[in-house]
Structure 1
Amino acid sequence: MEDTDVSRGGSLADAIADELRADILSGRLASGVRLVEEALARRFGVSRMPVREALTQLDSEGFLTTVRHKGATVSTTLRKDSRELLQVRRGLEVLAAQLAAENRGGAVAGQLADATGHDPTGHDAERAPAETPMSFHELVAVAAGNDQLREMLTTLNRRVAWGLGHDQQTSVTDHSALVSAILSGASVQAGYLMDEHLRRDERRFNELYDLD
């Protein structure tokens, strides 16, 4: 196995988690295999602390099952869990989009417009998308105005973040249409657009990680 590479940024624990995640997804680490901290520390040439942090991260993502006094084993239900979590995520994101539209973007309406280059005056002037403190989906969750929903989405997205790659151009187009619906108060349309957007993500996710 190649040496763990942290030169691209991130912590040593992140780099170890990346390698172990890749091993699990590829099948090099099979379901039910026990991961021993001491053995992994020797493999990566590090102390046990970053290994422990990496295992904790992978456990939070659903890749591992950790039992007290027994340690961590590779999850036997990763594919099933991932598929179910993505379905739950879509349902909550659709609700967030609908509530955000009812609030017409709420306190972050301006940031939603900035993130997609949407013209709030309705004159359709072309504007370049701007950097915002939060991601698009975080902004929608805030715009929904429901703290419990926002907290659930934060936890859920953390569990599936490892596989949530996007087609950048499609995402920009989808996000722009969503913002138009949200800022105009079209809750039904916003919910529909969010559903379609995330279904595309799920199909890409399933194809990439063979989760059919």
Structure 2
Amino acid sequence: MSDAIDGFPLDAPAHSPLLPAAAPRESTSHVIAEALRAAIVDGTLAPGAPLRQDAIARHFSVSAIPVREALRQLESEGWARAALHKGATVAPLSADEAREIYEIRSALESLAIGLAIPNHTAATLRESASLCRAAEREPDPSLYVARNVAFHMSLYAPAARPQLEDMIGTLHRRGERYLRLKFGLPSYKGESDNEHAALLDAVQRRDIPAAQSLVVAHLLGTGDLLHRFLTERAQAEAALANQPKPRARRTRTTSGS
């Protein structure tokens, strides 16, 4: 996340590709929330960065009302934190949160895939296969996150359980910026792609126990990986911060006679 910034850019150009300056007439707060979420996911807005209402409102040429609504939405989804008299900031990355998100996902998605498999058709299976290939071939982290979500949700859609689907979708959004960390570990991207292929094969064979076992192992493994990675990174950062700083060396001056 070396390109991350400390807060919402006060002087960002209007043509910024990440944050569109012109908000549409409808769902302004939703568009603002989506833009900020995208900036958090790809690391442009770093953990702990302030989300200043006045700067965001100026950028989108809107009043403070839709900005407040957008920040409340992000806070409810776990993307932002608000403190009294301090305003909102980007929520920090948490090893425990990452693991818990994937633990809950494993339970919900195991249920969803078991309900969906009997309702899959040749057309829905073709769509899932196409989305699986798209995710496997995607090298861009931000686009991979979207393709990964699309593949998983395509497996569960035939279950026709809208509330369950909505809960899973919320957890996917909560886990997006954690999933992006896997691109710092290239070997695990390949493992994840292989697990997707095995999961798709089980769904195509309509093997419910195998599909449920695979999706649980896939998600719990990802959660454990992210928990270990974030824990080790936090320990390394703490150790570095506690290292004594070297003293500045004095330079001697000599005077001529």
**TM-score, normalised with respect to structure 2:** 0.54
Deviation (angstroms), 1:194: 0.6
Residue 176 of structure 2 corresponds to which residue in structure 1? Answer: 161
Structure 2 Cα separation of the partners of residues 46 and 7 of structure 1 = 11
Matched, 1:59 2:59: no
Deviations 1:7-41 (A, max 9, x none): 4445354665536977663x567xxxxx6524x55
Matched, 1:171 2:192: yes
Deviation (angstroms), 1:176: 1.3
For structure 2, the 5+ residue unaligned runs are 1-5, 22-31, 138-146, 183-187, 235-257
Verify the 8 A CA contact 1:92 1:149 in the aligned structure 2: yes
Check 1:37–1:171 CA distance in 2 against 1; reply closer, same or farther (3 A cut).
same
Structure 2 Cα separation of the partners of residues 207 and 23 of structure 1 = 23
Matched, 1:140 2:164: no
Structure 2 Cα separation of the partners of residues 114 and 36 of structure 1 = 41
Check 1:41–1:175 CA distance in 2 against 1; reply closer, same or farther (3 A cut).
closer
Aligned residues with identical type, % of pairs:
26
For structure 1, the 5+ residue unaligned runs are 30-34, 118-127
Check 1:112–1:19 CA distance in 2 against 1; reply closer, same or farther (3 A cut).
closer
Matched, 1:11 2:11: no
Of the two, which has the highest radius of gyration? 2
Deviation (angstroms), 1:150: 1.4
Verify the 8 A CA contact 1:100 1:140 in the aligned structure 2: yes
Equivalent position amino acid for 1:206 in 2:
H
Structure 1 Cα separation of the partners of residues 192 and 92 of structure 2 = 29
**TM-score, normalised with respect to structure 1:** 0.63
1:49-88 alignment runs, 5 A limit? 49=64, 52=68, 55-65=71-81, 72-73=87-88, 79=94, 80-88=96-104
Residue 100 of structure 1 corresponds to which residue in structure 2? Answer: 116
SS in 1 for 2:198: helix
Count of aligned positions: 189
